[in-house]
Structure 1
Amino acid sequence: MSTTLTQTIKATPTTAFSRHATLSNEGEDKQGDTEPYRYSHLLPHFSQDHHPALVPFRHIDPGQRALAHSNPRSFLDSAISITQLTPGLGTEVHGVNLAALDSDGRDQVALEVARRGLVVFRGQEEFIDSGPDFYRAWGRHFGRLHIHPTSGHPKGYPEIHLVYRDSNSTFNYEIDDSITTTFWHSDVSYELQPPGLTTFFLLAQPTSGGDTLFTSQVSTLKKLSPQFVTFLRTLKAVHSGLEQADFSRSGRRGGIVRREPVENIHPVVRRHPVTGEEALYVNRQFTRRIVGLKREESENILKFLFDHIDKSADLQARVKWQPNTVVLWDNRVTAHSAIVDYKESKERRHGARITPQAERPIPAGEGLDLGD
């Protein structure tokens, strides 16, 4: 494994494991608030359950069904406003109630997210307050729900991935020995069938900060020269979950590894199964080496691509969180990074992610053999 690409990742100090049990099992609010925390039933829980390795499944993308609709954007008919965040990435929508959408409407959402990469829905109190059974039913419409191997989840709902930080604790996978908290990634890209459409929302947020950055991996690819893209289409890379598991095994983030970590090989350039668009598919957090190249060759190509993703501010969108906001993105064609700029405020940031898996990444290059 490349020593150049491996980063030391270290959590900010947390309390002992008994603290984790207090948060998750008793659901108490330790922020010093005078009123009980409204979402205490969704605080992080770290069960001792262990799960077998994931098995392949056939994914049918709901966005494909929407292509047959007479108006694939009719779910937006009730919208009060629709605003493009940037020309190439992201749309903000007011006036559409996600919780009220029928099956056809959800299919159309999947297609819109695939086309725009990122869609921000404001005013989604009904969705957020519908609870974890609703979250699971929503997510299952878009694919098999992923159970994260190391993160916290609401008790009894392992399919709901939680991010959590308050004045005393963090249960996130965070960098603490870097000059930046920006850490671009596509969620759990080390899985054989990584996520497609992802839903994320905050239950509590700081008064300022805690934004999320997104970048279009379709656009980052288009910025490269045609000759270089042709070469990249011939490459495949290893994505690894080993470091994330080791982080938890060291006692941080709850200290739990529910499923043995895996490494899988994916194309460096993948093709979206619905839109046909090609997207760069490497990320600094999980992509470790390019198969078949010498170490120095792999390190230099990946460093160039990671730096390209990091520095392409003209291809990025920034989501500023407001109460009752639900954000959907397509992990196949975007990358993202949390911004941990609110530590000094000691305020709570509590988010929930619904993460359906999609197909095994489809190579953009004809005949690229990914192996079995």
Structure 2
Amino acid sequence: MAQAKGCTRLKLSGALDKFSYEETTPITGREYLDVNIVDDLINAENADDLLRDLAITISTRGVVFFRSQTNLTNELQKELVHRLGQLAGKPAESSVHTFPLAPAYVPEGGTADRQISYVNSVGFKYMFDKMPNMDKRRFDAAEWHTDIQFEPVPADYTSLRVIKLPETGGDTLWASGYELYNRLSGPYRDFVDRLTVTCRADCVLMAIRNRGEKIEDGERGNPLNLGTALTAVHPVVRTNPVTGWRSVFALGQFSKRINEVNPIESEELLKKFYNMIQDNHDLQCRFKWRNPHDIAIWDNRSVFHRATFDYMDLGERSGNRAVGIGEVPFFDPESKSKAEAEGKEKPKSQVPTKDAVNGNGKAPTTGCHGMPMGGNNHHDMAMGQGHNGMAMAGHGH
């Protein structure tokens, strides 16, 4: 079994240094002030340098925010997430995620586009009309999750641009998977580093069952993202190929079962990770959408997010989401925690580790950059996360 090459963290060029920003919290989040993504980044002469540094910054800070991007179209939004992934070294066969179901809701004047998911309060109400037995109280605060975790090759960068805003409410929260891992003890890390998690999109099954829909044919952003299995197996701890840092990845509604332990232990582990986010609000940040066309861009490999559905009687909230596809998730035993990489903790002694494994228990065939990192035989469909007008099973932004 081949072992993964060590991760070399991508280095910033300094191209973004001329732009002002504020850190949202000490641990996660950054808001760039007075930057126009189209004019200042995408169309700049040194666009590749700027966007590569932006990708590294997003992977380092977890999520980055820009205000009032009124000239950013859907096509440019898709191009943006794809170029971020390309410039950060994602596999050539990965592109933009294609939604597996036909759009349940398209805003007036909008165009049906399976690479753009419409996050819309009207579609949210449509969902409850179609699924009357679902408990609305469960959706007041959508569960923590990472996008399309149930795909064999899940998301790298997601962008969400909110077009219409309610009077107030509808904030989105992010939480750092790096910091979650930092707060585990050395022996506990040694244990969870070896584990894998089964991820499944139960919400899609519910949509198919209740709405009588079927999955659209074709690849969903990568040749491995095919079929209707709705299931993928990934490492519990994932190495981010951009930073080389370890992050807890087995968290949220899609994470169903830790495979190497018994069902009771699996439930305990998943609850532990979830409760660590709930009980440690300092590893979270909260973003208030203030203006039409505010946008958030985040790295799904190392942050989790959740919506707040507290605005249903306060006006329409709608946004457009585009999701880039990254690499097959992997764990590299040569990678480090963020705290260790930054010199904030001494290297911890490790029990002898197995070869680096991906979700199949097989060794990745390449190093951090230029994945794929070995095959995942589970073909999957993805949906979810409260998009396409259906804040499905607690997923949302």
TM-score (norm 2): 0.69
Partner of 1:126, secondary structure, is coil
Asked if 2 retains the 8 angstrom alpha-carbon contact of 1:66 and 1:107, the reply is no
Cα deviation, 1:10-38, whole Å, max 9, x if unaligned, reads xxxxxxxxxxxxxxxxxxxxxxxxxxxxx
Who is 1:140 aligned against? 82
Report the CA distance shift for 1:261/1:155 in structure 2 as closer, same or farther (over 3 A): farther
Report the CA distance shift for 1:311/1:148 in structure 2 as closer, same or farther (over 3 A): farther
Report the CA distance shift for 1:156/1:165 in structure 2 as closer, same or farther (over 3 A): closer
1:333 is aligned, of 299, 302, 308, to 302
Say yes or no: does 1:165 pair with 2:121.
Answer: yes
What do you get for the CA RMSD once the two structures are aligned? 2.5
CA distance in 2, matches of 1:318, 1:343: 19
Give the aligned residue type for 2:57.
E
Who is 2:282 aligned against? 314
Who is 2:160 aligned against? 200
Say yes or no: does 1:302 pair with 2:270.
Answer: yes
Partner of 2:265, secondary structure, is helix
Deviation at 1:89, TM superposition (A): 0.2
Asked if 2 retains the 8 angstrom alpha-carbon contact of 1:91 and 1:119, the reply is yes
2:138 is aligned, of 170, 178, 182, to 178
Partner of 1:251, secondary structure, is helix
CA distance in 1, matches of 2:273, 2:9: 34
Give the aligned residue type for 1:357.
I
Q: How many residues align?
A: 298
Who is 2:237 aligned against? 269
Q: Where does structure 1 lack aligned partners over 5 or more consecutive residues?
A: 1-63
Partner of 1:136, secondary structure, is helix
Asked if 1 retains the 8 angstrom alpha-carbon contact of 2:120 and 2:316, the reply is yes
Report the CA distance shift for 1:163/1:179 in structure 2 as closer, same or farther (over 3 A): closer
Asked if 2 retains the 8 angstrom alpha-carbon contact of 1:150 and 1:248, the reply is no
Report the CA distance shift for 1:223/1:353 in structure 2 as closer, same or farther (over 3 A): same
Deviation at 1:260, TM superposition (A): 1.9
Cα deviation, 1:221-246, whole Å, max 9, x if unaligned, reads 111111111111011110112x1212
CA distance in 2, matches of 1:116, 1:151: 34
Who is 2:100 aligned against? 149
1:360 is aligned, of 322, 325, 328, to 328
1:98 is aligned, of 27, 34, 37, to 37
Partner of 2:325, secondary structure, is coil
Cα deviation, 1:100-151, whole Å, max 9, x if unaligned, reads 2122221111011011111111232222xxx323233223313410012247
Who is 1:212 aligned against? 172
Give the aligned residue type for 1:199.
S
TM-score (norm 1): 0.74
Deviation at 1:175, TM superposition (A): 6.2
1:288 is aligned, of 256, 263, 266, to 256
Q: Where does structure 2 lack aligned partners over 5 or more consecutive residues?
A: 1-7, 42-46, 86-94, 217-226, 334-353, 361-375, 377-397
Deviation at 1:65, TM superposition (A): 11
Asked if 2 retains the 8 angstrom alpha-carbon contact of 1:214 and 1:318, the reply is yes
1:344 is aligned, of 303, 313, 334, to 313
CA distance in 1, matches of 2:329, 2:197: 12
Say yes or no: does 1:187 pair with 2:143.
Answer: no
CA distance in 2, matches of 1:99, 1:360: 30
Deviation at 1:275, TM superposition (A): 0.8
Higher-RCO chain (CA-CA 8 Å, sequence separation at least 6) = 2
Report the CA distance shift for 1:184/1:171 in structure 2 as closer, same or farther (over 3 A): same
Who is 1:248 aligned against? 207
Give the aligned residue type for 2:54.
V
CA distance in 2, matches of 1:326, 1:177: 27
CA distance in 1, matches of 2:144, 2:272: 14
Asked if 1 retains the 8 angstrom alpha-carbon contact of 2:170 and 2:310, the reply is yes
Cα deviation, 1:159-197, whole Å, max 9, x if unaligned, reads 111111139934599962438524100011011111111
CA distance in 2, matches of 1:175, 1:209: 20
Partner of 2:169, secondary structure, is coil
Cα deviation, 1:32-90, whole Å, max 9, x if unaligned, reads xxxxxxxxxxxxxxxxxxxxxxxxxxxxxxxx9973xxx6232341x3x3111111100
Asked if 1 retains the 8 angstrom alpha-carbon contact of 2:54 and 2:84, the reply is no
Give the aligned residue type for 2:121.
R
CA distance in 2, matches of 1:359, 1:167: 31
Identity of aligned residues (%): 27
Asked if 2 retains the 8 angstrom alpha-carbon contact of 1:117 and 1:333, the reply is yes
CA distance in 1, matches of 2:24, 2:153: 29
Give the aligned residue type for 1:86.
T
